[in-house]
Structure 1
């Protein structure tokens, strides 16, 4: 083994070989996921991590959509089941069920919440002009949670507003 020859192959600082890497594109990227056979998406820059489903610690008197909390490297993270929050499908926990942990940074604070979804699908590369406004008529998902719609081949993907998802409603007494 010739260490000097190997050292010659290391690129100087600032020069990096990106050969074969095709994920760097223009536009924004969104993580898509399934809820009751419908596709939704969130800004990938807000995704902290994707975790397999694990039963959280229950919080007494929490709203029904809040399944409890988990300890994620010392941070207590509330877990919200989006199927219950949006009234879509039945809350069944299978092998494909995952928790997407989202962190949203506002001007004065950061909030991290995990969202239970049926399965993660894909990452979409979308230009801003490709995001269409959501129609104003009612659906199972409240208008405040929808940022727009993305036409992806034969599917329509509902783009969710991460800032609005981070708002936790007070429990009705």
Structure 2
């Protein structure tokens, strides 16, 4: 008996893939509010190097993180293709500077592999899983880990 569209929806996830630090990452499409071209931000004093500053987004001030720097891969080099992914989870909105956005990826839940145990708590906390696409691995970003870091900045 063929599966219904409702049954397939329970096993399918959609992600937006992007590049940061020369690596492939993705976020669940439900966490993304919009994708914007890079524009200069307002810097704040005494912020970590991965916090670029804040941006006014239709009256709301949101922090902008350099995701490459956040993950210890160096600062994102200036480029006209750079974009800010505006993402939200649990009512908090942030911007993530990335090198470029690639595509929408639809995968079954079973295609998401666990993050390998490489004895790095930071890696296990920042990456929720891995998806094999052609000959590359795409890392599923744990947006909560980025948000926890932003909560520490505000204190």
- Relative to the length of structure 1, the TM-score reads 0.77
Task: Write out aligned runs for 1:33-48 (5 A).
Answer: 33-48=18-33
Q: Deviations over 1:8-62 (max 9, x none)?
A: xxxxxxxxxxxxxxxxx73110000001321100011010110111110011111
Q: Which residue of 1 aligns with 2:118?
A: 137
- The structure with the largest strand share of the pair is 2
Q: Alpha carbons of 1:119 and 1:126: their partners in 2 closer, same or farther (altered >3 Å)?
A: same
- 2:143 aligned residue (162, 166, 171): 162
Q: Secondary structure at the match of 2:41?
A: coil
Structure 2: gaps spanning 5 or more residues = 1-7
Render the CA deviation track for 1:139-168: whole Å, top value 9, x for unaligned: 7x6220110000111111001112222112
Q: Is the 8 A contact 1:35 1:118 kept in 2?
A: yes
Whether the 8 Å CA contact 1:77–1:112 is kept in 2: the answer is yes
In structure 2, which of residues 36, 39, 45 is the aligned counterpart of residue 54 of structure 1? Answer: 39
Larger Rg: 1
RMSD: 1.6
Distance (Å, rounded) in 1 between the aligned partners of 2:92 and 2:88: 6
Q: Which residue of 1 aligns with 2:64?
A: 79
Provide, for residues 109-134 of structure 1, a one-character-per-residue CA deviation record: whole Å limited to 9, x for no partner: x1000000000011100111110001
CA distance 1:99–1:87, change in 2 (3 Å):
same
Q: Which has the higher helix share?
A: 2
